[in-house]
Amino acid sequence: MNGFKKFLLQGDLIKLAVAFIMGAAFASVVTATVDVIMDLIGKVGGTPDFSNYEPGGVSLGAWLTAVIAFLIMAAVVYFMIVKPYTAAKERFFPEPEPGETEIDILKQIRDRLSAAR
């Protein structure tokens, strides 16, 4: 029982649970944003509902509507999460300047030994 308790209280599991809860809460924000964008598209070019679209008798409408909604959702996630996260990470945690590599140091040693002869 102690092992199970330790497993449940591990930091990684707690972080995963928090991330899952935050993701579920953020899903409603993303869905609402997609709905707003779909409404704007509807006002500009008509309702983006292709459910009756059947080229050559093949019902592609529902699939096409789902693909468009997916692309909009992916764009929303990218511009609301990925891009700001990347910018903040680069600003607050910059990559360290690359120093001398082991090969550079070994070359310097070689050159000094050659010069000493």
Per-residue pLDDT reduced to its tens digit, 48-61: 667 777 777 777 77
- Structural domain including 102 reads 2-116
Please give the model's pTM, rounded to 2 decimal places.
0.54
Q: Are 30 and 10 in contact (CB under 8 A)?
A: no
Statement: residue 112 has pLDDT above 90: yes
Statement: residue 90 has pLDDT above 70: yes
Token reading at 94: 């910059």
What burial letters (b/e) apply to 81-117, b meaning 16+ CB within 10 Å?
A: eeeeeeeeeeeeeeeeeeeeeeeeeeeeeeeeeeeee
Return the minimum-mean-pLDDT range out of 6-10, 62-66, 70-74, 104-108: 6-10
Q: What is the pLDDT of residues 67-84, one digit of tens each?
A: 888 888 888 888 888 899
Residue 2, SS3 per DSSP: helix
Domains identified in the chain, total number = 1
Residue with tokens 């096409």: 64
Count CA within 13 A, CB hemisphere, residue 45. Answer: 6
Residue 66 CA to residue 34 CA, distance in Å, equals 12
Statement: residue 47 has pLDDT above 70: no
